[in-house]
Amino acid sequence: MAERRVRSFSITRLPGFGVIALATFVLLYVPIVTLVVFSFNAQASMSTWGGFSLTWYEAAFNNRQVREVSIRSLWLAVVASGLATMVATLAALATTRTSRFRGQTMIYALINQPLMVPEVVTGVALLIFFAAIRVQTGYSGMGYLVIAHTAFCIPFAYLPIKARLETMDLTLERAAADLYASPWQAFRHITLPLVMPGVMAGFMLGFVISLDTVVITEFVKAAGQDTLPTYMLGQLRRQVTPEMNAIATLFLALSVVAVTIFFVLSRKRA
């Protein structure tokens, strides 16, 4: 009696899989493609094509305020994601390189709190907290935005670093300890190079989240501290122009380049 051939399960064979997949891609990418296409529109219209032109890119580059908020956004994203990645790396080491202890689940919950609480709640809490400090110190600089973005980015950086540490083989670290390497030497020469792909992923996530955050920035920023997202939100409330499309397209290109660089570096390390 011939054995009955068992077909392996594949989600692609389910009814409607192709339609759902196609609809998902359409919903995700058609708006982005439309934005990019109309950023090259010669007319000041969001619905009528008037020919190819770089007018709106030229207008964006010549707009002094756009340059200022773009530089501020990039600076803030780099600083906040860098600080968040350092803190997240230390937190991931502390929660993965120790045996289980009482209260460990509570620590996970506290670290990931910004992911579980609505962003508007975090923004209001930071507004109240920083307002009290402003009253007492009189300081109203960019430090508040750096702290707020860093705190918000920590869980996004923590997750990939923790995941990387949990899947790492401890054999090399134990071998380094057997060869009388100090904890710092073992971390510097063994742990850090192995966890670096997770660190880079955490930095990239933090960078993108900081660059994109609107709600927290709106609650925390002082006068003259607009980032690019808050500036674009203010402009869209007045008038929608293809200049906003051009700015968004440039930052989309920046994100694609950053992700590509991260992918290439990760493959080389692997």
Helices (H), the chain: 17-38, 55-62, 64-96, 104-111, 113-116, 119-137, 143-166, 171-178, 183-186, 192-212, 215-220, 228-238, 242-269
Q: Can you give the pLDDT at residue 75?
A: 93
Residue 4 resides in a domain: no
Question: Could you give the percent of the chain with pLDDT greater than 70?
Answer: 94
Paired tokens of 92: 């991931």
* Separation between Cα atoms, residue 160 and residue 110, nearest integer Å: 17
- Stretch 24-29: mean pLDDT: 88
* Separation between Cα atoms, residue 39 and residue 24, nearest integer Å: 24
Per-residue pLDDT tens digits for 214-239: 889 988 988 888 888 888 888 777 77
* Separation between Cα atoms, residue 50 and residue 207, nearest integer Å: 36
Count: domains in the chain: 2
| C-alpha pair distances (Å), 72 with each of 57, 154, 207, 255 | 19, 20, 13, 16
Domain membership of residue 20 as a residue range: 15-53
Please provide the average confidence, as pLDDT, over all residues in the chain: 83
Q: Is the pLDDT of residue 121 over 80?
A: yes
Per-residue pLDDT tens digits for 141-160: 888 999 999 999 999 999 88
Let me know: does 216 contact 148? Beta carbons within 8 Å. yes
Same-domain check for residues 121 and 29:
no
Let me know: does 118 contact 51? Beta carbons within 8 Å. no
Q: Give the position of tokens 């929660």.
A: 95
Same-domain check for residues 237 and 136:
yes
Residue 208 resides in a domain: yes
If one counts every other C-beta atom within 10 angstroms of the C-beta of residue 90, the result is: 12
What letter represents residue 162's amino acid? K
Residue 98 resides in a domain: yes
Q: Give the position of tokens 């500036």.
A: 231
The predicted model scores a pTM of: 0.81
Same-domain check for residues 159 and 30:
no
Q: Is the pLDDT of residue 64 over 60?
A: yes
Same-domain check for residues 115 and 198:
yes
Q: Can you give the pLDDT at residue 1?
A: 45
Residue 143 resides in a domain: yes
- Stretch 95-115: mean pLDDT: 78
Long-range contacts of 168-175 (CB under 8 A, 24+ apart): 168/194, 168/195
Residue 136 resides in a domain: yes
Paired tokens of 151: 């705190």
What does R_g of the chain's alpha carbons equal in angstroms? 24
Q: Can you give the pLDDT at residue 45?
A: 73
Residues 6 or more apart whose CB falls under 8 angstroms from that of 161 comprise 85, 88, 89, 92, 195, 198, 199, 201, 202
Residue 6 resides in a domain: no
Q: Can you give the pLDDT at residue 147?
A: 92
* Separation between Cα atoms, residue 48 and residue 178, nearest integer Å: 71
Same-domain check for residues 156 and 23:
no
Closest CA to 164 of 135, 136, 201: 201
